Amino acid sequence: MALNKKQLAEFETQLIDWKAELEMGQSVNVQSMTELEQTSFPDPTDQASMETDRNFDLRIKDRERKLIKKIDQAIARIKDGEFGECESCGGDISVKRLHARPVTTLCIECKTAQEQEERTRLD
């Protein structure tokens, strides 16, 4: 079942809002990290703790940056008329799955098969 124009518009709004929220959070984090870097810690333990926190924040920021890219790609798929279409089998991705993960590019069957293949390779 292909998505109608109203559903596509709702997904686009959701994705745009989600992206704006992530971008705002990223700019706030960069500002706070810059302030922290200018703080000097006389205690090496405090310095190490700050470095650990900073590395954790950087990993989160990197994940958010990748998610923003996926959001942009999903918005492009909406504009191209390909949103909700599985890139593997070409079938429809269920609306329920799209609500749970609007940046997905695979239907549940193809995603399950992909995960099983990955587990097989790791064993």
Which position has the higher pLDDT, 80 or 28? 80
Is the whole-model pTM more than 0.85? Answer: no
**SS3 per-residue string spanning the chain:** CCCCHHHHHHHHHHHHHHHHHHHHHHHHHHHHHHHHHCCCCCCHHHHHHHHHHHHHHHHHHHHHHHHHHHHHHHHHHHHHCCCCECCCCCCECCHHHHHHCCCCCCCHHHHHHHHHHHHHHHC
Q: What are the pLDDT digits (tens) for 80-117?
A: 999 999 999 999 999 999 999 999 999 999 999 999 99
Give pLDDT tens digits for 59-88: 988 999 999 999 999 999 999 999 999 999
Mean pLDDT across the stretch 8-21? 96
Q: Residue 116's pLDDT is what?
A: 94
| pLDDT category of residue 53 using cuts at 50, 70 and 90 | confident
Task: Check whether 31 has a pLDDT greater than 70.
Answer: no
